[in-house]
Every structure is written in structure tokens, then in C-alpha cells.
Amino acid sequence: MKSTLAAATAKGSPKTRTGITGFDEITGGGLPSGRTTLLIGGPGSGKTIFAMQFLVHGATHAGEPGIFIAFEESAERIVSNAEGFGWKLSGLSNERLSIIDAQPDPDLIQSGTFDLGGLLAVLEVRVAKMGARRIVFDALDIPLSLLPDAASKRREVYRLHAWLLDHNLTGIVTAKASGAETAVDGEKLFGFMQFMVDCAVVLKHGVALGISQRSLRVQKYRGSSFDENESPFVIGSSGFELAMARPLGRGVSIVSLERVSSGVERLDTMLGGGYYRGACVLITGFPGTAKTILSGSFAQAACLRGEQTMFVSFDADSNEVMRDLSSVGIHLDPHVESGCLRMISARTVTGSAETFLVRIKALAREQLARCVVIDPVSTWAKSGDGLAAHSIAERLIDWSKSEGITLLCTSLLDELSHRKESGTSLQISTLADTWIHVDYLVQAGERNRGLSIIKSRGTAHSNQVRELILSDDGVTLADIYTAGGEVLMGTLRWEKENARRAASELAELTSKLTGVRLDAEEAELQVRLKSLQTELVAKQVEKALLTRTAASQEDELSRGDHHVRELRGADAASADDAASAASAASAASADDTASADDAASADDAATGDEK
């Protein structure tokens, strides 16, 4: 036997998968094959469910027949309880899964010594017949309580452990234990067994702030690394499900460069094209700041793209949400009727935040959702311990990224957290890819909604605070409007715009009047200019006429003088001089006149001599 164990250890401790979501991941593959696991916990902690799910997975998916030995419940009750998780035990033959009712008779009167030898002999035959590879001893503490002393109990536990190892069976032994009995204490009933087995798992079930909380911790695991921290779990519709964050180095988030619309066109512009596919979007704000409306816009846009979408509301009934959104032009009813959108009211879900997460994941798988809205996720902070709720929010984001689901969460701010830039009481703002904050801005006695993008990883985004406007036609963002270095919204902006509009209209009217006046003055100047031009032409004509008249008169006088000389018989020289003087009359009229007078005198003298 020792050589067999050494060989198994040398091969790296082979493991048997349990089929329990999360548990196989934190143990690196499941329970140690061919070895014994001790599963202890208080009442209602889920021991029997864990063990039965381990066997069902082996019988239906791993091809490993199993045996369930029940010391506490009848076989009929076990089968009936399993049906509630969808495990069809009645459809499994005894060759694949066998349930042995080993309950002690309540009327049993013990006489003589008691041991497990007879039971193990029966099991040996059953194991050989079935070829069983898995086995569960449920509530072993019940038969051990029939033994008279601790030494006898210890002997039977060693007998059972040795039998399991000899038959190379992967076994689970469950036992009830209080909080003190889960401690490593040799004086306690199963304290020594925790040292003996190769794997020990402790289940806890308690209440924190009135909310049921369940957790699992792998206490030991020989020959293998494992997650030593407590991990919360739930018992859901499909059985035992362990919650866990994705370990470092395992799994890959689906990273996409594709953009999806927020449902508000101008918000898409501020984000550089919309949200990234598969991103986590966080919208924070006070009550009434339109967080649900922005969520509804996103859901409607996703449905219009034909993408399966799920909307989870914690604040109101789904019918009320659809009615309220229709008042701002967001109509989700047709998409619900077509099956593209699934509206869920989380008020009907009770329990811890872990229960919410498991339920949301299950519904998203059923819906094949590509987009999920949770409004508001901050409700989880009230579901028990705050640290646990924060861990659940982290796992929610981790799950959505691994599935490529675009997740939009809203978070309600309170008066204390509002100015701390913390984003939400769950402190998930650092995990979100895009963080949008909606706030009330009070100006001139009026409250308006302002939207800003605090961060958006991997993309440029607007740093402006834009007014969020709700109307019957839908949701939009107003253009930025500043005056005096301040962003104005609402009535104050309307009044400022009206004042500027009135001033602009007055300036335009004044400009028109000035233009009319200048046109009139220009026309008057044009008339005056034309009149002066006409007067100038008249003067020029008069001057030219005067010049021609004077020249004509001089010419006439010259011709008359010449004629007179001819009549008087003046000599040729005098005649030539008279002709020269006449040709130069325009340049020296005074000299011409004198010459004419001299000529006349000469003519008179000549006439006297002739006589």
C-alpha cells in the first residue's frame, strides 16, 4: 500500500473531479483520487448535497459508478431530495449509482460489541459487482455514536480508512460538527481523523446581520496546492455552487475593440463611440438622477441590435420599471414580448448577496445574455457582511468579463460617500472600465441633472459636465453652455440665452437702421456728385464756346482789315504784314490791334499822297 501511495505521489497526486462549480478550481482538479476526504460541518451546511453531487457527476459524466451509504436518511428521502436539484436518480441504474440505507433502527437495543466489519463486507461485494470508483459515508458520526468509548470509535475510523485505501476508492466521509469540533483537537471526535485523511473540508453556515451566510474552506490537502481562504457558496437550483474569483494566471477575459451604443447618441459621442463590448460600466448618483433611465436606454439599444439582454431591478417591480421608462420614450415592452429582453425583479430573491450572484449567473446563462443590467448593485452592500458583498461584486465583474458580457451596474450614493470620490459603498469603481456620474446641480433655486464621465479606460472621453435632459421623446444631453466661466443649466441658462438673443436682435436691428441711413446719405451724395459733374461740363462747354467766339471774332476782324487794305491798294509788304498779324491774333491780340491801327493810318497817308 505504501508503494502504491508513493507511486501516486510521484505522478503528481491524480485528482477526481467533483462537478461542483468552483470547488474543482480552488483544489486544482477535485478530490484526491483513491484517497479519503473528510467533510465536516454543522447542521444544514450542505454536506449531504456536496457528497451526492460528487457521486451524480461521477455516474453521469465521468463514467465512475458510486455508492452512497446513508446513516441518517432513508434512500427514498434522499432520492426525493435529489429531484429538487434536477438530479434524476431514479433514472440511474443500481449499476451506476447505488444508495444503501444503513440507518440504525431507533428501537435498536445494543448487546455485545459493534463494529463496521459487517457493513464493509457487504460493500466489498457491491463494489466488485458495480466496479465502483466513488463512495460516500454520510453522517458517519451516527454509527460511531453506538460505540462505547473513544478508543472504539478511533479503531473503527482507522478500519474504514484502511478499507478505502485497500480498494483504491475515492471516498468522502461526512460528519456533523459544531464550531469547536472543526478545530484541530485530538480530544474531539474527528480531530484525529483530520490528521489521518488526505483532504479535509470544513463547511460553515451562519448568520451575519440577519442574512444567511455559507462558506467552505479546504483545511488540508496532501500533495497538492489549494486555495486556503474561505470561499462563500450557495445551494441553488442545480445544487452546490462555490463562488470564487478567477485565480491569477488562469482564464482570459474576452477583450474586444467593438463599440456598443449607450442608447444616448450624445453620450456615445462623449465616450468616443460608446462602451467597449464586454466592458463593465458603472453609473453612480443620488436617487432620482436618472440612473435607471440611462440603464433602460442601454437595454433598449441592445435589444434594437438584436442582442439578448437581461435587466435586474432591485428597487422596483419589473412592470413598474417598464411603465416608468415609457414616460421618457423608452419602450421595453415589445422586446420583453419578443423574448429578446428578460426583466427580473430581484425583490423576489431572498438571501445573501451570494444568492443574488448565483441566481443572476444562472438566469444569464438561460437567456444567453450578451448584455446585463443590474440596478442598483449597491443593494448588495446591505446583504450581510460588507467585505463579502465587495468580494461578490468583484466576482460579478470577473464573471462578466470572462463571458464577454457587457455589464452595466448602477450604484446609489448616500450623503457620506458622495464627496469621497469612492463611487459606491461596494468600492467597485476601481474595477469598472467606464464610470459615469450623474449629479444634481442647483442654480438660481433650480435643480438640474448634470452628467460627467469620471473615467473610461482605453479611450479618450469628454471632460465636460453636460446637462441631462429628459422628455417625452427620450433622453439627450444639452450642449455645453458657459457664461462668466461657469456652466449654466436649466432656467438660468434659458434666461441667459434669452438675454443674449434679445441683445443680438437689438444689435441686428440697430445695424439695419444704420445701414438704411448710410444708404440714404450715399444716395444724396451721389445726386450731388452728379449735379456737380453736370455743372462742370456746362462750365467747360461755356469756356470752349467763349474761346471759339473770341477766335471767330478776331478772324472776322482780320479778314475785314485785309479787305479794306485791298480796297485801299495797300502795298504787298503791308499786305503780307497784315496777313502775318492776322495769323497770330490769338497769341497777341493787343499787338494785332495796334498793327491794324498803324495799317489804317498808313493807308490813309498813302491815299492822301495819291491825291
Please report, rounded to a whole number, the percentage of residues in the chain having pLDDT higher than 70.
77
> Which residues neighbour 137 within 8 Å (Cβ) at sequence distance 6 or greater?
69, 71, 160, 171, 172, 173, 174
Q: Output 386 or 174, whichever has higher pLDDT.
A: 174
Q: With respect to residue 184, please indicate whether it lies within any of the assigned structural domains.
A: yes
Same domain, 361 and 392: yes
Q: Which grid coordinates belong to 271?
A: 465616450
Q: Directed axis angle between helix 353-367 and helix 386-403, to 10°?
A: 20
Residues 137 and 66 sit within 8 Å (Cβ to Cβ): no
Residues 401 and 347 sit within 8 Å (Cβ to Cβ): no
Q: pLDDT band for position 157 (50/70/90)? A: confident
Q: Output 576 or 104, whichever has higher pLDDT.
A: 104
pLDDT digits (tens, 9 = 90+) for 71-111: 988 888 888 888 888 888 877 877 899 999 888 776 665 55
Q: With respect to residue 254, please indicate whether it lies within any of the assigned structural domains.
A: no
Same domain, 296 and 406: yes
Same domain, 231 and 107: yes
pLDDT at 291: 93
Same domain, 226 and 154: yes
pLDDT digits (tens, 9 = 90+) for 172-231: 999 887 554 444 333 355 667 888 899 999 998 887 666 677 889 999 999 888 888 888
Q: Is the model's pLDDT at 608 over the cut of 60? A: no
Q: Which grid coordinates belong to 11?
A: 505522478
pLDDT at 491: 65
Last residue within a domain, chosen from 452, 480, 508: 480
CATH of the domain at 90: 3.40.50.300
Same domain, 543 and 585: yes
d(CA 477, CA 480): 9
Lowest mean pLDDT among 96-105, 435-444, 575-584: 575-584
pLDDT at 228: 86
Q: pLDDT band for position 571 (50/70/90)? A: low
Same domain, 62 and 158: yes
pLDDT at 438: 92
pLDDT digits (tens, 9 = 90+) for 480-511: 766 665 666 666 666 677 777 888 888 888 89
Same domain, 412 and 510: no
Q: With respect to residue 488, please indicate whether it lies within any of the assigned structural domains.
A: no
CB atoms within 10 A of CB 238: 13
Burial class of 38 by CB neighbour count within 10 A (0 to 12, 13 to 18, 19+): buried
Same domain, 328 and 204: no
pLDDT digits (tens, 9 = 90+) for 9-26: 334 579 999 999 889 989
Residues 56 and 91 sit within 8 Å (Cβ to Cβ): no
604: containing domain: 495-610
Same domain, 331 and 439: yes
Same domain, 410 and 519: no
Same domain, 237 and 291: no
Q: With respect to residue 78, please indicate whether it lies within any of the assigned structural domains.
A: yes
* Full-model pTM: 0.65
Q: With respect to residue 249, please indicate whether it lies within any of the assigned structural domains.
A: no
State the average pLDDT over residues 42-52: 90
State the average pLDDT over residues 131-147: 89
Last residue within a domain, chosen from 210, 242, 274: 242
CB atoms within 10 A of CB 226: 16
Q: With respect to residue 252, please indicate whether it lies within any of the assigned structural domains.
A: no
Give the count of domains, the chain. Answer: 3
State the average pLDDT over residues 258-283: 93
Same domain, 56 and 193: yes
pLDDT at 455: 93
Q: Is the model's pLDDT at 553 over the cut of 60? A: yes
Across the chain, what does the average pLDDT equal?
Answer: 80
Q: With respect to residue 126, please indicate whether it lies within any of the assigned structural domains.
A: yes
pLDDT at 123: 92
